[in-house]
Amino acid sequence: MRVAILHYHLKPGGVTRVIENTVRELNRRNIKSLVFCSEPPDKKAYPFENVRVIPGLAYSDQFDSSKAASLKTELEQSCRAEWGGLPDLWHVNNHSLAKNLEVPVIVSNWAREGQKLLLQIHDLAEDGRPENYKSLLVTLAGKDLQRLNGILYPTGDHVAYAFINGRDRNFFSQSGVEEKSCHLLANPIHLEVNEDRTVDDPELQDKNFILYPTRSIRRKNMGEMLLWAAASEGDTLFGSTLAPANPTALPIYEQWVKLADELNLPVHFGLGEKHNFHALLNAADALVTTSIAEGFGLAYLEPALIPKQLIGRDLPDITGDFKDAGIRLDNLYTRLEVPIAWIGYERLRERVHASLFRYY
């Protein structure tokens, strides 16, 4: 069997870890695989040699039908060069997230041609990403919702969907996708920490160090981590590991970095760009998550493998699967109340109104 796996990049992050673990299992079963991405991966993030770099898979909010056709041809030709034919399965990650507007059109065309597809949904544009969804709706479908659904979510006996949590699988099965085509494919968990690695920063070693091991994109809700830092007492230090990979996400990230600096908060951003990741995990006294949206929820499971205490925000739609399996997540909250006097009612109302108007 031959499997072609597509993703936009193989930078450090949740989807890259999933692909790495998937390829490890395919190798164990002697199943041939190629992984397509837009740029050469960091060997520390992805160790295998089965990568083919296709620059057209890079993030892009522009659509060009001729570029989509060329990208489709390039992917197919690369498979033919490697195997003498097309793959038995195209395994595409997050095709409908609007990270690259050519990709969902290519997937739709493969579906029409009868190519076998496994569409793995880690994240959804419909789930808290209004700008992404608007881009898809306007650019690909001329604001025609039914047309967009036909492009994004093809159906047929040759098309299967893999969901990383029960919530999303239920959404799709209740929305018309046949139950037999909706599969729960929980992410494999594999995290080994080299306990010999240490940070050479005395501040991280000496203080009560709370680490947010994440790429600091919008949904990771960095402002809530800053709130905790502002409310902390004593020698507590907060830190996050990575900046956003997507250039469009950098302005919001840079605003948080600037605010933390202006308020002189005990927070360090981008620690993963300065220190070894294993060393940071070893130095941490606890891990934190303040995310408001997750696909699978690796952040809730990996701390137990180190082991480290996890604190922060609970997302019951995601953690429900874990709790049903007997995993204890006792140090999380579902609601964090902030006194309205800290902000001002009118100021809050105006900000919320402006944000809703801008998005919708």
- CATH at residue 241: 3.40.50.2000
Are the C-beta atoms of residues 148 and 141 closer than 8 Å to each other?
A: yes
Same domain, 180 and 318: no
Higher pLDDT, 342 or 359: 342
pLDDT at residue 58, rounded to an integer: 97
Provide the token pair at 249: 């996400």
pLDDT at residue 359, rounded to an integer: 73
User: Can you count the helices (H) and strands (E) in the chain?
Assistant: 13, 13
> For 99-113, what is the mean pLDDT?
98
Q: Is residue 139 part of a domain?
A: yes
Same domain, 175 and 32: yes
> For 279-287, what is the mean pLDDT?
95
Conformation bin of residue 221: beta by default, left when phi > 0, alpha when psi is -120 to 50: left
pLDDT at residue 256, rounded to an integer: 98
Total domains, the chain: 2
Instruction: Supply the range of the domain harboring residue 272.
Output: 202-342
pLDDT band at 348 (very low <50, low <70, confident <90, very high): very high
Same domain, 129 and 220: no
Same domain, 166 and 243: no
Structure-token match 């083919």, residue found: 52
Are the C-beta atoms of residues 18 and 185 closer than 8 Å to each other?
A: no
pLDDT at residue 321, rounded to an integer: 87
pTM of the model: 0.76
| Burial class (CB within 10 angstroms; exposed 0-12, middle 13-18, buried 19+) of 295 | buried
| 13-29 residue pLDDT tens | 779 988 998 999 999 99
Last residue of a domain, one of 157, 184, 211: 184
Q: What dihedral do alpha carbons 202, 203, 207, 210 form, nearest 10°?
A: -120
Same domain, 110 and 230: no
How many C-beta atoms lie closer than 10 Å to residue 276's C-beta? 15
pLDDT at residue 127, rounded to an integer: 87
Q: Is residue 277 part of a domain?
A: yes
What does the DSSP 8-state code read for residue 49? Answer: S
pLDDT at residue 292, rounded to an integer: 94
Same domain, 17 and 145: yes
Q: In whole numbers, what is the pLDDT of the chain averaged over residues?
A: 94
Same domain, 164 and 313: no
